[in-house]
C-alpha cells in the first residue's frame, strides 16, 4: 500500500498543518512517510509545496516523480495547476475554488477551474465559504483536508484524532471549528 501526495498553496495557507495531520495520522495507522518541502517566499505569499509519500513499507526517495502523484491537494486553484504534470493518469486533484491573487496577472479564475476539472478526477470546493460556515476562515486548509479524506489511504478517525491533537491547545472553539471544517469539506467532496 502506498500513496504519493503533492501539497500545494501559498505562504500562510496552512500547507504544513495539512502535512502535520497526514503525517501523524499515517503513523497512527502504522504507515511510514517521507516528506520534502519547498517554502520559497512563503512569508510573502510565495509558493509552498510539499512532496508527501505514504507506504506500508520502505520509502526510498522523498521526491515524487512526474506522472506518479496519486493526489494533488491544493489550497489554491492556480497552484494546483502548477503541479498537474506530477499527477498519475488516474490521479485526483482536490482544490479550493477560492483564488489567492498574489500576482498582478492572475489568470481568469473560471479558466483556471476549467483546467483543473480536466484532471482525471477533480474535487473543487469553496473552502473559504465552508471555513466561514465552520466558524473561522483560517480553517480553509482543514476544509480541503476533509475534502481529500475520502481518497486518502488513512483512517478518518486517525485524521480527526490528529486534528484534535493539533488544535486542542488553542481552545475548544478553535478545535470545534476545525473539526467542523473537516466534516464540511468531506461532505462537500462526497456530494460531487
Query: Which of 149, 123, 159, 127 lies closest to 140 in space, CA to CA?
Result: 127
pTM (predicted TM-score):
0.93
Q: Name the residue with cell 480541503.
A: 144
Residues in CB range of 147: below 8 A, 6 or more apart = 94, 123, 125, 127, 185, 186, 188, 189
Which pLDDT value is given to residue 49?
86
Q: Is the pLDDT of residue 99 over 70?
A: yes
Convert the pLDDT of each residue in 133-147 to its tens digit: 999 999 999 999 999
Convert the pLDDT of each residue in 35-78 to its tens digit: 987 766 555 667 788 999 999 999 999 999 999 999 999 999 99
Query: Which of 187, 155, 146 lies closest to 54 in space, CA to CA?
Result: 155
Q: Is the pLDDT of residue 122 over 60?
A: yes
Q: Name the residue with cell 518541502.
A: 37
Query: Which string of DSSP letters, residue by residue, matches 3-40?
Result: EEEEEEEETTS-HHHHHHHHHHHHHHTT-EEEEEEE-T
Residue 139 main-chain phi, psi, to 5 deg: -90, 20
Amino acid at each position: 500500500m502506498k500513496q504519493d501526495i503533492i501539497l500545494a498553496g501559498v505562504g500562510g495557507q496552512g500547507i504544513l498543518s495539512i502535512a502535520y495531520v497526514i503525517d501523524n495520522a499515517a503513523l497512527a495507522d502504522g504507515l511510514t512517510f517521507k516528506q520534502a518541502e519547498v517554502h520559497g517566499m512563503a512569508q510573502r505569499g510565495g509558493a509552498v509545496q510539499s512532496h508527501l509519500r505514504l507506504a506500508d513499507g520502505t520509502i526510498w526517495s522523498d521526491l515524487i516523480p512526474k506522472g506518479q502523484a496519486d493526489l494533488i491537494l491544493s489550497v489554491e486553484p492556480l497552484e494546483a495547476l502548477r503541479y498537474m504534470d506530477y499527477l498519475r493518469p488516474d490521479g485526483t486533484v482536490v482544490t479550493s475554488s477560492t483564488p489567492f491573487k498574489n500576482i498582478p496577472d492572475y489568470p481568469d479564475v473560471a479558466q483556471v477551474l476549467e483546467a483543473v476539472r480536466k484532471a482525471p478526477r477533480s474535487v473543487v470546493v469553496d473552502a473559504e465559504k465552508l471555513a466561514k460556515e465552520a466558524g473561522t476562515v483560517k480553517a480553509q486548509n482543514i476544509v480541503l483536508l476533509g475534502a481529500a479524506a475520502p481518497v486518502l489511504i488513512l483512517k478518518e478517525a486517525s485524521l480527526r484524532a490528529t486534528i484534535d491533537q493539533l488544535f486542542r491547545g488553542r481552545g475548544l472553539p478553535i478545535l470545534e471549528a476545525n473539526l467542523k471544517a473537516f466534516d464540511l469539506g468531506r461532505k462537500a467532496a462526497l456530494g460531487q
